Amino acid sequence: MSTTEQTRAADAVTRAEVEDFLYHEAALLSGWQWDDWLALFEEGGRYEVPTFDGRRYSGREAQYFIADDWDLLQARIIRMKSKNAHAENPPSHTHRLVGNVVHQVTGVGTLAVQANFIVHRMRDGLLDPYVGHYEHELVAGDAGLKFRVRRAVLLTESVRPGTRLSFIL
């Protein structure tokens, strides 16, 4: 099958489809359904969380909290599913709000997606809110939308001391 046949026209993707994709992802993450979440990525995809001062740079140019290439992303999921993942044993409870979703076509079969998020994380009797926005690159194909790059940009200036980003934003 040619690339043209495999790639869905990105300009045919609606905002509602992008929103449904992001809402489905949020449900998978809050439900700790790691394999299903990883299946939302194209092979070779990336997961990034820049530091507060590295927002305007790539993970190769600045320090990031998380800059997982495909191999590191797969390893992260293996760790998350392990009973030896001490940072998340027992697992955190999360509640996710996603809104203000906008998208634009950036190339053949590719979309740039921005959305705001609030992730509430409950762990050890504490509630930590994480506020930010997403800067995703999605690929539209016959199998639906997939992440090429999933970037969560925190807008807070700091996290509570001792807090770990051991869960997926």
Identify the CA nearest to 98 among candidates 48, 74, 134. Answer: 134
Task: Determine the pLDDT at residue 22.
Answer: 98
At residue 1 the predicted structure's pLDDT band, cuts being 50, 70 and 90, is: very low
Q: Which amino acid makes up residue 48?
A: E
User: pLDDT tens across 36-77, in order?
Assistant: 999 999 999 999 998 876 556 555 556 788 899 999 999 989
| Phi–psi pair at 109, nearest 5 degrees | 75, 10
Sheet of 41-50, strand order: 64-68, 41-50, 144-154, 126-141, 110-123, 93-107
Query: CATH: 2.120.10.80, 3.40.50.880, 3.10.450.50, 3.40.640.10. Which one for 3-154?
Result: 3.10.450.50
Structure tokens at 136: 């995703």
Assess contact for 65 and 51: CB atoms under 8 A: yes
Task: Determine the pLDDT at residue 2.
Answer: 38
Q: Which residue has the tokens 């939302």?
A: 40
More confident residue, 62 or 127: 127
**CA distance from start to end of the chain:** 35
- Average pLDDT of span 127-136: 93
pLDDT at 5 over 60: no
Task: Determine the pLDDT at residue 161.
Answer: 67
- On the CB side of 125, CA atoms within 13 Å amount to 0
CA dist., res. 49 & res. 67, Å (int):
7
User: pLDDT tens across 13-33, in order?
Assistant: 999 999 999 999 999 999 999
Residue 146, number of CB atoms within 10 A of its CB: 18
Q: Any idea where the domains of the chain sit in the sequence?
A: 3-154
Task: Determine the pLDDT at residue 92.
Answer: 85
